[in-house]
């Protein structure tokens, strides 16, 4: 990590919004099936609100978009992250405000999916049943 990224990441972590904090308290410390998350993680030229490097999952808490340039930035950023192999899960602030526990479950569900994609990438498709065998 470059020194300016370290400073930027620290600054962002200390200025975490209440909404981000509610999510962080539910995913930190390997609370979601032992998956480790980092907050305000620098990835290339960007900072992810939350990142699970092992699952290549980025979680972004989206506030209201104020103008088209903000939306365009988010689109470019997400395209870059996806090109680097990350899955980006965008969660509106309103979801966190309504039910932060349900948001944590949504993140857990995405981790399960990421894990399954990783296994498929690593080992290929699941083996088919032997010829003549029937499924249970």
What is the pTM (predicted TM-score) of this model?
0.76
The pLDDT, as a whole number, for residue 129 is 39
Contact status, residue 42 vs residue 11, Cβ threshold 8 Å: no
Burial class of residue 92, CB neighbours in 10 A (0-12, 13-18, 19+): middle
Q: What is the fold of 3-120?
A: Endonuclease; Chain A (3.40.960)
- Map out the domains of the chain as residue ranges: 3-120
The pLDDT, as a whole number, for residue 61 is 94
The pLDDT, as a whole number, for residue 70 is 85
The pLDDT, as a whole number, for residue 117 is 73
Q: What is the rounded radius of gyration, in angstroms, for the C-alpha atoms of the chain?
A: 18
Q: Which residue numbers in the chain have pLDDT < 70?
A: 1-15, 66, 118-136
- Please report, for residues 21, 74, 80, 86, 117, the alpha-carbon distance to residue 17 in angstroms, rounded to integers and kept in the order given: 6, 18, 25, 24, 31
């Amino acid at each position: 990590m470059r020194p300016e990224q370290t400073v930027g990441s620290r600054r962002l972590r200390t200025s975490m919004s209440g909404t981000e904090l509610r999510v962080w308290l539910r995913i930190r410390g390997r609370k979601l099936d032992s998956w480790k998350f980092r907050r305000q993680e620098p990835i290339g030229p960007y900072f992810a609100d939350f990142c699970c490097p092992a699952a290549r999952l980025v979680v972004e808490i989206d506030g209201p978009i104020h103008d088209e340039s903000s939306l365009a930035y988010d689109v470019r950023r997400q395209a870059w992250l996806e090109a680097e192999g990350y899955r980006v899960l965008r969660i509106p602030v309103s979801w966190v405000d309504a039910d932060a526990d349900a948001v944590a479950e949504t993140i857990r569900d995405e981790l399960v999916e990421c894990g399954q994609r990783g296994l498929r990438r690593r080992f290929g498709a699941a083996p088919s049943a032997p010829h003549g065998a029937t499924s249970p």
